[in-house]
Amino acid sequence: MRPRLIILVRHGQSEANVDISIHRTVPDHKIKLTEVGVEQAIEAGEYLNKFLKPEDTVQFYVSPYLRARQTFEHMSKALDKGRWRYCEEPRLREQDWGNFQGPPKEMARIKTERATYGHFFYRIPNGESGADVYDRISTFQETLHRAFASPNFPSVLVIVTHGLLSRLFVMRWFHWSVEEFESLQNLRCCEFVIMEKNEETNKYKLKTKFRRWGNIESLGRFDDEDDEGNNKYLTPNGKRFLNGHSRSYSAEMGGEFSSEDVMGDASESDERSVNSSSISINEEVESKTEEINVTKKSESV
């Protein structure tokens, strides 16, 4: 049974978010939360409770990195022990930056080069590209779909991971293009991304609006392939085609991709807001546009 909610949460503020030089002496997977990060994680658990119904059960999948596990530990304190399950998932780990990071000048050069080249395709020396991470997220989603076949799968899925992983997860799920991914800003620490299932169609709609670096015109841009390997793309007239089958697309504010199955299969709905803006901290929970109220804005890792 597919869960009614899929919630992605970035870890709380880590030592590296405060002092990036720690990457030179401490392995990435051993970097801890700061005191602020612990507070964020506790608040995230309380915030998660607001979305749970009395009958809900929760399945946590958590990155094995210490900061993510600590985030989960503090979040879970807000929940009754009998209503959640936990699984540590290595495929949810942070992008590999090649063991210990180099001197500041070298890392500055790499980050500048990466920003110019593009976060998705740029391969960090001795590490991973965003595309590499996308591939392991794809296999993780295949695992999820098999798990959903169980009638006893919990009604809420919570994934505690990292900023890049969260964006790539959504990109893969909704078949977004590389250009779309590159336009999105990173999540802040302990920010939520909410995907809600439509009980009639059994498909998910992304309820969270991502902050963008800028409004990107994307006429004719290519999207990624769907699960069957079919190329999808947007044409300049605003039609979305899939091997000769089309779906309507609205480029106006609040426009959405239609949620019909294109090939008559169980393909996922990519219904979402096109010109999405920043996540508002003051919006009501019912609006489903989420953000944890953090005391500090953390730097992206």
Q: What angle do CA 276, 119, 253 make, to 5 degrees?
A: 10
Q: Beta strand pairing status for 203-206 and 232-234?
A: unpaired
Partners of 237 in the beta sheet? none
Partners of 14 in the beta sheet? 33
12 known ligand binder: yes
Q: How far apart are CA 170 and CA 164, in angstroms?
A: 10
Q: How far apart are CA 81 and CA 196, in angstroms?
A: 24
Q: How far apart are CA 239 and CA 248, in angstroms?
A: 5
* Chain position carrying tokens 């063991």: 99
- Those residues whose C-beta lies under 8 Å from the C-beta of residue 108, and which sit 6 or more positions away, are none
- Core vs surface per residue 134-151: b (16+ CB within 10 A) or e: bebbbebbeebeebeeee
Residue 81 gets which letter from DSSP?
G
Judge contact between 162 and 10, C-beta under 8 A. Answer: yes
Q: How far apart are CA 295 and CA 300, in angstroms?
A: 16
The mean predicted confidence, pLDDT, of the chain is 78
Mean pLDDT of 251-261: 27
- pLDDT tens-digit profile of 209-232? 999 986 543 322 222 233 333 333
Judge contact between 197 and 271, C-beta under 8 A. Answer: no
Among 5-19, 33-47, 153-167, 285-299, which is the least confidently predicted range? 285-299
99 known ligand binder: no
131 known ligand binder: no
- pLDDT tens-digit profile of 70-111? 999 999 999 998 899 999 999 999 999 988 888 989 999 999
105 known ligand binder: yes
Which of these, 119, 97, 107, 287, lies nearest to 213 by C-alpha position? 119
Q: Looking at the annotation, which residues are catalytic?
A: 11, 94
| Residue ranges of domains in the chain | 5-212+277-287
For the cut 80, the answer to whether the pLDDT of residue 242 exceeds it is no
- pLDDT tens-digit profile of 6-53? 999 999 999 999 999 999 999 999 999 999 999 999 999 999 999 999
H helix runs in the chain, sequence order? 15-18, 35-49, 66-76, 104-117, 130-148, 163-174, 178-182
Task: Classify 5-212+277-287 by CATH class.
Answer: alpha beta
- pLDDT tens-digit profile of 123-137? 999 999 999 999 999
Q: How far apart are CA 255 and CA 278, in angstroms?
A: 17
pLDDT of residue 268: 52
Q: How far apart are CA 80 and CA 82, in angstroms?
A: 6
Q: How far apart are CA 250 and CA 260, in angstroms?
A: 15
* Chain position carrying tokens 């740029």: 122
251 known ligand binder: no
pLDDT of residue 43: 98
15 known ligand binder: yes
Q: How far apart are CA 68 and CA 165, in angstroms?
A: 12
16 known ligand binder: yes
Residue 243 gets which letter from DSSP?
T
Residue 182 three-state SS? helix
For the cut 80, the answer to whether the pLDDT of residue 140 exceeds it is yes
